[in-house]
Structures are given as C-alpha cells and as structure tokens.
Amino acid sequence: MALTPEGVRKHFVQDIPADEADIVYANARPLAARCFSDKVSETAWRSKPSWYLVAAQDETIPPAVQRDSADRMGAQTLVLQSSHVPMLSQPEAVAEFIAGAAASIDG
C-alpha cells in the first residue's frame, strides 16, 4: 500500500509545512523487498550503547511500539511531539540528541 500526497501530509509528516510534505512525497520510494528477508548476524544494540528517539505523534510506527523497542534495547530515549520525521520538523532537537550521544562515547 502506498500513501497518497494527502495521506503523506495528514499521516506521515503532519507537522511540517505542506510544500515540504510534498517534497517528501515526491522523493518517497518503496521499500526494497530484501529488507524483509536479509539475515542480521548480530544486533549492535545488544552489545553497544543505544539511543532512541520516540516520535510521540507518529502515525506510521505507533509510539507505544517505539517505546517498547527503546525499552528492550535499554536505550537512552528522547520523546519529541512529532510525526514520523522529527529530523525534518524538529532538526535542532534531533541534532542535539545525536551530538549528545556522540559526545558520550567519544574517546
């Protein structure tokens, strides 16, 4: 199933301006089928520090699922009131979260 331009605006990137949402829609591509069949040999979060950004207004991946994933990983978590794309709607907060993660492991 693919989202329509209206669906992208209302349910995927609902917290960014419509003209930016249209760019997201225009650049969207289907998932590669192999992403469902490729084998993962080792999950990094089991042996390395992890960080997880929960998008509390995400209509693509339910926030409860995101929180559960973060909890299972033991991840340091940031919750933002954003759609599926906090890197577009709140880039400063995302950049700060990433910079903090990097600084905490920078040797």
- Tens-digit pLDDT profile for residues 36-91: 899 989 999 999 999 999 999 999 999 999 999 999 999 999 999 999 999 999 99
The model carries a pTM of 0.86
Count of beta carbons in the 10 Å neighbourhood of residue 49: 13
**Mean pLDDT confidence for 88-97:** 98
CA distance 47 to 73: 10
pLDDT of residue 9: 94
pLDDT of residue 2: 72
Confidence of residue 31 (pLDDT cuts 50, 70, 90): confident
CA distance 58 to 13: 8
